[in-house]
Amino acid sequence: MGVPKTSWFWVVFVVALNTATLCNGGVSSSFVRKVEKSVDMHLDSDVFRVPTGYNAPQQVHITQGDHEGKAVIVSWVTMDEPGSNTVEYWSDGRHQKLKANGSVTTYTFYNYTSGFIHHCSITNLNYNTKYHYQVGMGNSVRSFWFITPPEVGPDVPYTFGLIGDLGQTYDSNKTLTHYELNPTKGQTVLFVGDLSYADNYPDHDNTRWDTWARFVERSVAYQPWIWTPGNHEIDFAPEIVSGSAMLFSACSTVMFWITIGYLCLFLMVDIDL
Ligand SMILES: *[C@@H]1O[C@H](CO)[C@@H](O)[C@H](O)[C@H]1NC(C)=O
Ligand SMILES: *[C@@H]1O[C@H](CO)[C@@H](O)[C@H](O)[C@H]1NC(C)=O
Ligand SMILES: *[C@@H]1O[C@H](CO)[C@@H](O)[C@H](O)[C@H]1NC(C)=O
């Protein structure tokens, strides 16, 4: 998305999906971000903190894993060694843990070498169910949860947050906090492009992808964000295939419901002008 000279476009609003009709949820906050561009958070900021423990999974996030809402892809990064590929998961109230194995990969970009990037699909989930999941090994196991969407049908309410151009400035943190504190709780975020703004750094310093992913983990590990690449991602071309796109799947590959597919398509047409 183009960045106007004087302000970073930002918007967070919530829409309710009512069968095939997209309804505006109204203005839910009077907050307006200040016009001046704010600076990136310092590398030692609390939001970028590396989780404690040897090889602890970081940058944990989930993505919708199929068209029906019965699968989720769990992604995370380990820094010291590949470690375990396994996700353990169980539905709320059940103690029997199920396991799924994923894959691991790495990439390099200029003089940057990524950590070990893990992706693991968990499938055959029940609708509208809270699942707990764990990644990591030994003392570095980390636990998260998510709720699967309801079965598709007429009059099924579902609430999307819409966020774009997030970046990793002090204002980005405010934007994310506003989304989290909104009384109308979003269940999934449609992210309309321009994630980390790592491309503002020399050689697109990809450590700023790592910091960004640690920053947003507090939301993206618990609810899927549907990613649309913006021009700040497309800048990576032709390396995009081995760069950011590998960590954050775009909506073209992981679609949600058909209606969202349409919306996604619209958003993709609308970006990068
Ligand atoms: C996952 O990997 C572990 C270790 O390699 C193996 O023992 C287990 O059978 C695998 N599980 C599945 C479901 O493939
Ligand atoms: C990569 O190059 C940049 C600029 O030359 C330098 O600041 C940075 O420390 C280098 N990073 C690594 C991992 O070598
Ligand atoms: C980011 O926001 C959270 C509140 O949501 C706060 O706890 C944290 O200190 C903030 N960090 C920075 C660097 O602004």
The DSSP letter of residue 125 is P
In contact, 12 and 20? CB cutoff 8 Å: no
| pLDDT score of 204 | 81
Comparing CA positions, the residue from 236, 205, 267, 210 lying closest to residue 76 is 210
The DSSP letter of residue 169 is B
Q: Please work out whether the CB of residue 211 comes within 6 Å of at least one atom of ligand 3.
A: no
| pLDDT score of 23 | 53
Which residue, by CA, sits nearest to atom 9 of ligand 2?
111
Give residue-wise pLDDT tens across range 57-88: 999 999 999 888 999 999 999 999 999 999 99
Q: Please work out whether the CB of residue 99 comes within 6 Å of at least one atom of ligand 1.
A: yes
| pLDDT score of 32 | 79
| pLDDT score of 234 | 55
| pLDDT score of 195 | 83
| pLDDT score of 247 | 58
Q: How many helices (H) and strands (E) does the chain have?
A: 5, 15
Structural element, H or E, at residue 208: helix 207-220
| pLDDT score of 250 | 36
Q: Which phi and psi (to 5°) does residue 231 adopt?
A: -65, -25
Q: Which phi and psi (to 5°) does residue 264 adopt?
A: -60, -45
Which residue, by CA, sits nearest to atom 13 of ligand 3?
45
Chain centroid to Cα 101, Å, comes to 21
Q: pTM value?
A: 0.81
Which residue, by CA, sits nearest to atom 11 of ligand 2?
111
Task: Specify the ligand 1 atom closest to the Cα of 100.
Answer: 13
Q: Please work out whether the CB of residue 121 comes within 6 Å of at least one atom of ligand 1.
A: no
| pLDDT score of 148 | 95
CA-CA distance, 77 to 58, in Å (whole number)? 5
Size of the chain, expressed as the number of residues it contains: 273
Handedness of CA 152, 162, 224, 180 (dihedral sign): negative
Q: Please work out whether the CB of residue 202 comes within 6 Å of at least one atom of ligand 2.
A: yes
Q: Which of 39, 42, 46, 168 to mutate to test the pocket of ligand 3 (most atoms within 8 A of CB)?
A: 46
| pLDDT score of 50 | 97
Kindly give the parts of the chain with pLDDT less than 70: 1-25, 28, 233-273
- Residue 86 Cα to ligand 1 middle (Å): 8
- Residue 111 Cα to ligand 2 middle (Å): 6
- Residue 101 Cα to ligand 1 middle (Å): 6
Tokens for 43?
């590398």
Tokens for 179?
């989304």
Q: Which of 89, 99, 120, 124 to mutate to test the pocket of ligand 1 (most atoms within 8 A of CB)?
A: 99
| pLDDT score of 29 | 72
